[in-house]
Chain A
Amino acid sequence: GEDVEQSLFLSVREGDSSVINCTYTDSSSTYLYWYKQEPGAGLQLLTYIFSNMDMKQDQRLTVLLNKKDKHLSLRIADTQTGDSAIYFCAVPGGSYIPTFGRGTSLIVHP
């Protein structure tokens, strides 16, 4: 099955850029997702990228996809304290159901 890996923690200063990385194993996915989860809450879809794209920009968010290396990244520009949360990379495998990475805890400090 699909294997999705993420680093567990990222700490940044307010105003800096954050880059959260994700690697996956199944190259058949047609789309890949980033979800955000705040403490005690459900998952909120942040953005997604189609597999035929290299980059997608949506306001402060930039998603980069390197299909050859099976690497996905999420960049958050001008990171704010409200961005502190857990970010999950999700990659659908052969069953079309997303496999979630373990999540990266983003900590933003003043």
Chain B
Amino acid sequence: DTEVTQTPKHLVMGMTNKKSLKCEQHMGHRAMYWYKQKAKKPPELMFVYSYEKLSINESVPSRFSPECPNSSLLNLHLHALQPEDSALYLCASSQELVPTRLDNEQFFGPGTRLTVL
């Protein structure tokens, strides 16, 4: 199984709503990532978890709250978002954050298309 799954595929929410994005992988990867991607732009790194601990937070506003309940799951909790937060949110995983082997490529999920009204 070399797949990263993300749910939901699409999400529309108001600025006062609370919602969560979910990501799952069963490849035994110990590093998991959240990216935000706006149209026609490269993915921008938001958070990185390594061995279920938050390792990197790229100065993301607190209205985005990540959670890693176990080694296979990664959540992104959303609260009081702004319309400019509308984007494709991508989850990725890799063997490890600091690679001990050369093939430490990232595997990406299909993304959640988020629209904030």
Interface residues of B (CB under 8 A from A): 4, 6, 33, 40-43, 45, 48, 56, 88, 90, 92, 97-99, 102-111, 113
Contact = CB atoms under 8 A, between A and B. Distances in A.
29 contacts: A30-B102, A31-B103, A31-B105, A35-B108, A40-B88, A40-B113, A41-B111, A42-B108, A42-B109, A43-B43, A43-B90, A43-B92, A45-B106, A45-B108, A48-B103, A50-B102, A88-B43, A96-B98, A96-B99, A97-B45, A97-B56, A97-B97, A98-B106, A100-B42, A101-B42, A102-B41, A103-B40, A103-B42, A105-B40
A48 B6 CA distance: 24
Contacts of B90: 42-43
B45 A33 contact: no
B31 to A, nearest CB: 9
Classify the interface of chain B: helix, strand, loop or mixed. loop
B105 A97 contact: no
A43 B99 contact: no
Contacts of A40: 88, 113
Contacts of B92: 43
Contacts of A105: 40
A33 B105 contact: yes
Given A88-B42, A102-B41, A96 B104 contact: yes
Which 10 residue pairs are nearest across A and B when measured between Cβ atoms?
A: A100-B42, A43-B108, A42-B108, A42-B110, A42-B111, A42-B109, A45-B105, A102-B42, A42-B90, A96-B98
